[in-house]
Amino acid sequence: AVLNRIKDVDEKVRAYVTVTEEEALKRAAELDEEFKTMESNSPLKGIPAAVKDNMCTRGIKTTCSSKILYNFLPPYNATVVEKLDESGFILLGKTNMDEFAMGSSTENSAFFVTANPWDLQAVPGGSSGGSAAAVAADEAVFALGSDTGGSIRLPAAFCGVVGLKPTYGYVSRYGLIAYASSLDQIGPITKDVTDCALVMNAIFGHDPKDSTSAKVEVPDFTGFLKNDVRGLKIGVPKEYFGEGIHEGVKKAVWDAIELLKDLGAELDEVSMPHTDYGLATYYIIAPAEASSNLARYDGIQYGYRAENFQDLIDLYKKTRSEGFGPEVKRRIMLGTYALSSGYYDAYYLKAQKVRTLVKQDFDRAFEKFDVLISPTSPTPAFKIGAKTDDPLTMYLTDVCTIPINLAGVPAISIPCGFSEGLPVGLQIIGKPFDEGTLIRVAYTFE
């Protein structure tokens, strides 16, 4: 049924870069056999899902929506894919994204633009736009995305679905093609909070193959699916409701906050004074790490290679000039500049210090509150093309999500109403490794 749905609507939505129809049907047939004989089955068994095209899938093209990896066939699976395999999911295919996850609208894909299923003229958000659009358009039951500065939560908000960015280190990054390693996390994009908890159960946990993976117990997240927020202390950070936040978005988010109050949560305003510096800090740190991570694409071992070259240096230059898109090149240049000797102290080191200040805002807030609540994005989905000429305006889309990655804390985006006919996302931010409480609060709205 899901494959038929893809055939019916993906021509318009364009969520998938690759659909693995044959493999999916084969796997489904195998699982049908298992269902007959196995006594207990994992809740994800036989569930068809999509994976963002920056997570390695053995023998299945993994392109990062970039020309430079257009033909890359990974020889191994990312740990999350391996884990989902163990739980019996069916891979439907790989979803479109901003090239190397750099972007907020999926317009930076080297291949094509994905549309928002609610309005085909609007963007689905990014960079995991293909994953969110696939779930919203019923082209997958759930999907995986990755989030460096908002790339799971923003598209989830724009497409009216649920998206969770886990605590840094809670989900293995092994096999996730790196963008900014100190910020990247993989997480679920689902139709509802119950599904989110089920996917979390499958993908969370320590992985010796990822040196930044945390050794923390994974609870059964379905245990937090309770309609009970009585006595929970909820902070509303005032800096997240300032200038630039649409009235319709504010209203939808405040309605949700009022509902939590009616249900017995205790609310109070909180100040996070370094919020304003989040974006600038991120746009030093993320490009710096990206410039280093993307140095490996040289046309030698895998991916695209330029055809006419004079010598090795010329091969590198031509391959990278032809293989990377404009936004990726912009980030590599910014990052290389910020890391270069003479500028390192002024930019990268300074940004790391400000990052600590941003994190301390969260530490302080969590001394008093169990969760914090904000909009996921200042506006609902914008029209395709509306911000492509102005990277700075595009960067502003992530003001509400970026500080969370800098601090390494978890956050979930859930739908909380509509503005101008398009979905609005509510962001619930939690203490490190306290995703359970996020699920508990989010479930109130289910």
Q: Interface with ligand GLN by CB under 6 A: which residues?
A: 101-104, 127, 147-151, 179, 286, 398
CB of 282 to ligand GLN, least distance (A): 7
As to burial, measured by CB atoms within 10 angstroms (0-12 exposed, 13-18 middle, 19+ buried), residue 167 is: buried
Given the residues 128, 151, 172, 377, the one annotated as active site: 151
**Is there a cis peptide before residue 127, judged by omega within 30 degrees of 0?**
yes
Q: Which two tokens stand for residue 273?
A: 């004074």
Q: Please, which residues have CB within 8 angstroms of residue 3's CB and are 6 or more apart in sequence?
A: 19, 21, 24, 25, 48, 92
Residue given tokens 């919020």 in the structure block? 275
> According to DSSP H, which parts of 310-401 are helical?
312-323, 326-339, 350-368, 391-396
Residue pair 193/225 in contact by the 8 Å Cβ criterion:
yes
Residue given tokens 């049908």 in the structure block? 32
Cβ closer to ligand GLN: 397 or 419? 397
CB of 312 to ligand GLN, least distance (A): 31
CB of 54 to ligand GLN, least distance (A): 9
Cβ closer to ligand GLN: 170 or 369? 170
CB of 64 to ligand GLN, least distance (A): 11
Cβ closer to ligand GLN: 287 or 303? 287
Cβ closer to ligand GLN: 201 or 377? 377
CB of 149 to ligand GLN, least distance (A): 3
Cβ closer to ligand GLN: 124 or 299? 124
CB of 151 to ligand GLN, least distance (A): 3
Element (H, E) at 370: none
CA-to-CA dists, residue 398 to 33, 104, 242, angstroms = 46, 8, 14
**What is the CA 35 to chain-centroid distance, rounded?**
32
Cβ closer to ligand GLN: 273 or 391? 391
User: From CA 414, how far away is CA 153, in angstroms rounded?
Assistant: 8
Residue pair 320/298 in contact by the 8 Å Cβ criterion:
yes
User: From CA 114, how far away is CA 130, in angstroms rounded?
Assistant: 6
Q: What is the DSSP string of 78-90?
A: -HHHHHHHHTT-E
Given the residues 52, 94, 387, 431, the one annotated as active site: 52
- Indicate if 321 belongs to the active site: no
- Indicate if 419 belongs to the active site: no
Cβ closer to ligand GLN: 229 or 328? 328
Cα dihedral sign for 126, 163, 166, 382?
positive
Residue pair 328/99 in contact by the 8 Å Cβ criterion:
yes
CB of 80 to ligand GLN, least distance (A): 16
CB of 150 to ligand GLN, least distance (A): 5
CB of 125 to ligand GLN, least distance (A): 9
Cβ closer to ligand GLN: 232 or 286? 286
Helix axes 2-13, 21-37, angle to 10 degrees: 150
User: From CA 409, how far away is CA 395, in angstroms rounded?
Assistant: 21
User: From CA 260, how far away is CA 373, in angstroms rounded?
Assistant: 11
Given the residues 65, 66, 109, 127, the one annotated as active site: 127
Residue pair 282/27 in contact by the 8 Å Cβ criterion:
no
Q: In angstroms, how far apart are the furthest CA atoms of the chain?
A: 71
In three-state secondary structure terms, 49 is: strand
Q: What DSSP state is assigned to residue 383?
A: B
- Indicate if 151 belongs to the active site: yes
CA within 13 Å, CB half, 203: 33
Cβ closer to ligand GLN: 114 or 127? 127
Residues known to be catalytic = 52, 127, 151
